[in-house]
Structure 1
Amino acid sequence: MNIDKITQPFTEIFPGDFSGNTIQRNTPKVLFSTVDPVGFENPELIIFNEKLSEEIGLGKFNKDDLNFLAATNLPKNVKTYSTAYAGHQFGNWAGQLGDGRAILAGEITNEAGETNEIQWKGAGATPYSRHADGRAVLRSSVREYLMSEAMHHLGIPTTRALSLCFTGEEVVRDMMYSGNPQNEKGAVVVRTAESFLRFGHFELMSAQKEIKTLTELTDFTIKNYFKNITSQGEQKYKDFFSEVCTKTADLMVEWFRVGFVHGVMNTDNMSILGLTIDYGPYSMMDEYDLNFTPNTTDLPGRRYAFGKQGQISQWNLWQLANALFPLIKDEKFLEETLNSYGNYFWKAHDKMLCRKFGFDELKKEDEEFFINWQGLMQELQFDYTLLFNLLEKLESISDIKTDFQKISYGFLDDAKIEKLEDFIQIYSLRLKANTISKEESLDLMRKTNPKFLLRNYLLFECIEEINNGRTELLQKLTKALENPYEEIFPEFSVTRPPNYDDISGCSMLSCSS
């Protein structure tokens, strides 16, 4: 790989604490601290994303690159650091946070002039580890590697994964916070993104009243990542905030499209570029449920439940607005922008549902159709993904009860079948009102509705296999997630097997997952 081309422009612009140690502490008035990865004596490569490596300008892998992927014996041009940020966690101000187990190597620019940051996750403690060890376990690392790549191939903005390695260490974790810690295999992921900047970076500088640095950070962000903004003065910052709102709303709509539930939408886990970031207790939804949260830490309030993600993203944007107020100083503009967020989100959401159902455009009566559909989904306990896959084949269904029972997590009695038949009749009439052809309608559905989703039980099985020294399922899942709109492996297009219903890691997870 072309590791010698990695640079650190971020650290050249902003103030930093150059102490180069990992003592957990506050670092006021700075955005980053230099820090050395712990280094691992016996790393072992599990999987390497060669396509991504070529794409971002690192090139092909050779055996000498293992040390870099495991953050060990690094070349002199790589000067590692972690960033400080703040955030609201579960609605409460948490003060200074930061990259607790993430260490940045710098950034790489490819031949097309596109730049990506490169970051290890699990390579040791940083000043922001809050008395933790900065390590990562295999299960969380596999989940991050595979799901970030799955989201990319689904067409959803996301950070990406370059490699996954065993560290050769064992790490102690209490997976469900039950007072039963266990030794687990340690791992490290290398992930990439155009930028890892979060809402929390802006919140930290604003909370510390470091307005000069806040201004420089915002200018840096606009110059490097919002190049379409050409306005000046206060208007530049208004345009910036408006675009962040749009990017965030668009991301939420994409999450709803595929049934992704992040599980921990704290402001420090919100990308300023509208990327899906920090894959912790996430889940792809099996049974449709607006109240579903995969995060045990989110119970019983379910703040970050599937159906609340649009609302929470707006709440998080309010916090970003507060952070940017010293630059914008126009309370009316911020209020109007945030109050219009819901209208933009729901219109984009309903247009997305139109594509899922194969409708030509959003009609006034579609709102009632969607509301009735949501109620039916929850009552009949249908699998979110498989329902749309089945609707694509509606004309070929000969036995409604048999085929729809296969995608339900409950029992379909006669009364429920009658409701289903009424829905199908209404749906068929709506399709006939389309101004596009039947094939064009199906094409919309096929491009919008994935055939493969990386469900939690599949991840659980994959992690178990890797723990036991096998990677066959890992390779199979990688092929499937790279082609999510094709049914390459029909055995994956089924409801979650009932034997996984109550197994930790298959439906519910903790923040340590």
Structure 2
Amino acid sequence: MNIERIRQPFIENFPGDFSNNPMQRNTPKVLFATINPAGFDKPELIAFNEALSQEIGLGKFEDKDLNFLVGNNLPDNVRTYATAYAGHQFGNWAGQLGDGRAILAGEIINEAGKKTEIQWKGAGATPYSRHADGRAVLRSSVREYLMSEAMYHLGIPTTRALSLAFTGEDVMRDIMYNGNPKLEKGAVVIRTAESFLRFGHFELMSAQREYNNLQELADFTIENYYPEITSSDHQKYKDFFENICTRTANLMVEWFRVGFVHGVMNTDNMSVLGLTIDYGPYSMMDEYDLNFTPNTTDLPGRRYAFGKQGQIAQWNLWQLANALHPLIKDEKFLENTLNNFGTYFWEAHDQMLCKKFGFDQLRQEDEDFFTNWQGLMQELQLDYTLFFNQLVKTTQETNISEHFRDVSYIILNEEKLAKINNFIKSYRSRLELNSISQKESLAMMEKSNPKFILRNYLLYECIEEISHGKKEMLEKLTKALENPYQEIYPELAAKRPSDYNNIAGCSTLSCSS
């Protein structure tokens, strides 16, 4: 890999702490602290994303590159650092946070001029580790590596994963926070993004009343990542905030489209570029449930449940609005923009559902149709992805009862099957209002409804295999997630087996990693 091309424009533009001290501490009036990765004596490569490496300008992998993938023996041009940010966690102000397990190598520019930041996750402690060790375990690293790539191939804005490697050391973790810690295999994942800037970076500068740094950070972000903004003065920052709101709303709609539940939508886990970031206790949804949260830490309140993600995104944007107020200085504008978020989100959400159902356009009566559909899905515990896959295959000759019988997580009696039949009748009546052909409608549905999603039980099986030195499942899942709108492995497009219902890591997870 051509790691000599990596550069550090962020630390060249902002004040930082150059002491290279990993001890946990406050770092006021700076945006980053230089820190060296811990270094690992016996690393072992698990997976490398050759296509991504070529795309971002790093080139082909060679055996000597393994050291770089875990942060060992870095060249002189790579000056590593962790950034400071703040945030609201589960609705409460948490003060200074920062990259506790992430260390940035810097940025690389490919031949087309595209910028990509490169970051280790799990390579050691930083000043922002909050008394933790900065390491990551195999299970969380596999989950981030595979899921970020799965989201990319689903067409959803996201960070991406370059590599996955064993560190050669064991890490102590209490997976369910129940007083039963155990040693797990340590791992490092390299993730990439156009930028890892978060709502929390701006919250920290504003909370510390570092308004000059706040403005410089906003200017830096606009100049580098929002080329469409050409205005000046206060209007520039208004346009910036409006763009973040739009990107965030669009991201939430995409999560709803595929049934992704983030699990921990704190403001420090929200990207100002509208990317899916920080894959922790996430889950792809199995049975449809607006109240589903995969995060045990989110119980019993379910703040970050599937159906609340749009609402929480708006709440998080209110916090960002407060942070940017010193630059925008227009309360009415901020209030109107945030109130308009809900209108924009729900219209985009319903337009998305139209495509999933193959409707040509959103009609007034569709609101009742969607409400009835949601009620049916929840009552009968129908699998979100499999329901739409079966809907795509439904014809006039289809035996509806048999066709949808195995899509539920409960036993469907005749009364329940009759409800599905009645819904399909109403669906067919709605399709008759389309001004597009049946072929065009089906094409729209096939583009909107993935045939393969990366379910938690599949990840669990893959992690178990890798921990025992096998990679067959990893290779199979990688191929499937790269082609989510094709049915390459029909056996992977199946409901979660009941054997996995109560296994940690399959139905629910904690923030432990």
TM-score interval (norm. to shorter): over 0.9
- RMSD of the TM alignment (CA)? 0.6
Contact 1:401–1:412 (Cα < 8 Å) also in 2: no
**2:437 is equivalent to residue 412 of structure 1:** no
Q: What aligned pairs does 1:43-442 form with structure 2 within 5 A after superposition?
A: 43-395=43-395, 398-442=398-442
AA aligned to 1:303 is R
The CA distance in 2 between the partners of 1:144 and 1:166, in whole Å, is 14
TM-superposed CA distance for 1:299, in Å, is: 0.1
Partner deviation per Cα, 1:211-268 (whole Å, 9 max, x = no partner): 0000000000000000110000000000000000000000000000000000000000
Match of 1:450 in 2: 450
TM-superposed CA distance for 1:396, in Å, is: 6.5
The secondary structure found in structure 2 opposite 1:392 is: helix
The CA distance in 2 between the partners of 1:366 and 1:102, in whole Å, is 45
Contact 2:42–2:167 (Cα < 8 Å) also in 1: yes
AA aligned to 2:387 is L
AA aligned to 1:120 is W
The CA distance in 2 between the partners of 1:468 and 1:407, in whole Å, is 33
Partner deviation per Cα, 1:406-435 (whole Å, 9 max, x = no partner): 110011112111211110000001111110
The CA distance in 1 between the partners of 2:221 and 2:122, in whole Å, is 26
Contact 2:401–2:421 (Cα < 8 Å) also in 1: no
Partner deviation per Cα, 1:116-170 (whole Å, 9 max, x = no partner): 0000000000000000000000000000000000000000000000000000000
**2:7 is equivalent to residue 7 of structure 1:** yes
The secondary structure found in structure 2 opposite 1:395 is: coil
The CA distance in 2 between the partners of 1:15 and 1:444, in whole Å, is 49
TM-superposed CA distance for 1:400, in Å, is: 2.2
Contact 2:150–2:482 (Cα < 8 Å) also in 1: yes
Partner deviation per Cα, 1:361-382 (whole Å, 9 max, x = no partner): 1011111100000000001110
Compare 289-298 and 396-405 and name the one that shifted more: 396-405
The secondary structure found in structure 2 opposite 1:243 is: helix
The secondary structure found in structure 2 opposite 1:168 is: strand
Q: Structure 2 regions of 5+ residues with no counterpart?
A: none
AA aligned to 1:354 is C
Contact 2:401–2:420 (Cα < 8 Å) also in 1: no
The CA distance in 1 between the partners of 2:70 and 2:82, in whole Å, is 16
Match of 2:39 in 1: 39
AA aligned to 1:134 is G
TM-superposed CA distance for 1:512, in Å, is: 1.1
Contact 2:158–2:275 (Cα < 8 Å) also in 1: yes
The CA distance in 1 between the partners of 2:284 and 2:434, in whole Å, is 30
The secondary structure found in structure 2 opposite 1:171 is: strand
Q: CA 1:74/1:459 → structure 2, altered by over 3 Å: closer, same or farther?
A: same
Q: TM-score, normalised by structure 2?
A: 0.99
Contact 2:405–2:417 (Cα < 8 Å) also in 1: no
TM-superposed CA distance for 1:399, in Å, is: 2.9
The secondary structure found in structure 1 opposite 2:289 is: coil
Q: CA 1:508/1:437 → structure 2, altered by over 3 Å: closer, same or farther?
A: same
The CA distance in 1 between the partners of 2:57 and 2:430, in whole Å, is 48
AA aligned to 2:344 is Y
Contact 1:283–1:455 (Cα < 8 Å) also in 2: yes
The CA distance in 2 between the partners of 1:67 and 1:492, in whole Å, is 34
Q: TM-score, normalised by structure 1?
A: 0.99
AA aligned to 2:477 is L
TM-superposed CA distance for 1:397, in Å, is: 5.8
Contact 1:80–1:105 (Cα < 8 Å) also in 2: yes
The CA distance in 2 between the partners of 1:207 and 1:348, in whole Å, is 33
AA aligned to 2:183 is N
TM-superposed CA distance for 1:398, in Å, is: 3.7
TM-superposed CA distance for 1:184, in Å, is: 0.3
Contact 2:199–2:320 (Cα < 8 Å) also in 1: yes
Contact 2:382–2:409 (Cα < 8 Å) also in 1: yes
The CA distance in 2 between the partners of 1:147 and 1:476, in whole Å, is 14
The CA distance in 2 between the partners of 1:44 and 1:201, in whole Å, is 34
The CA distance in 1 between the partners of 2:165 and 2:316, in whole Å, is 34
AA aligned to 2:15 is P
Contact 1:120–1:188 (Cα < 8 Å) also in 2: yes
The CA distance in 2 between the partners of 1:413 and 1:375, in whole Å, is 17
Identity among equivalent pairs (%): 74
The CA distance in 2 between the partners of 1:419 and 1:77, in whole Å, is 65
Runs of 4+ in 1 over 2 A off after TM superposition: 396-403
Partner deviation per Cα, 1:28-64 (whole Å, 9 max, x = no partner): 0100000010000000000000000000000000001
The secondary structure found in structure 2 opposite 1:347 is: helix
The secondary structure found in structure 2 opposite 1:367 is: helix
Match of 1:22 in 2: 22
Partner deviation per Cα, 1:286-333 (whole Å, 9 max, x = no partner): 000000000000000000000000000000000000000000010000
The CA distance in 1 between the partners of 2:442 and 2:403, in whole Å, is 19
AA aligned to 1:70 is V
The CA distance in 1 between the partners of 2:398 and 2:359, in whole Å, is 23
Match of 1:473 in 2: 473
The CA distance in 2 between the partners of 1:420 and 1:45, in whole Å, is 48
Match of 1:502 in 2: 502
Contact 2:16–2:30 (Cα < 8 Å) also in 1: yes
The CA distance in 1 between the partners of 2:181 and 2:27, in whole Å, is 31
The CA distance in 2 between the partners of 1:235 and 1:31, in whole Å, is 25
How many residues are aligned here? 513
Match of 2:489 in 1: 489
TM-superposed CA distance for 1:404, in Å, is: 1.1
Q: Structure 1 regions of 5+ residues with no counterpart?
A: none
Partner deviation per Cα, 1:442-466 (whole Å, 9 max, x = no partner): 0000000000000000000000000
The CA distance in 1 between the partners of 2:135 and 2:495, in whole Å, is 34
The CA distance in 2 between the partners of 1:396 and 1:67, in whole Å, is 59
TM-superposed CA distance for 1:405, in Å, is: 1.6
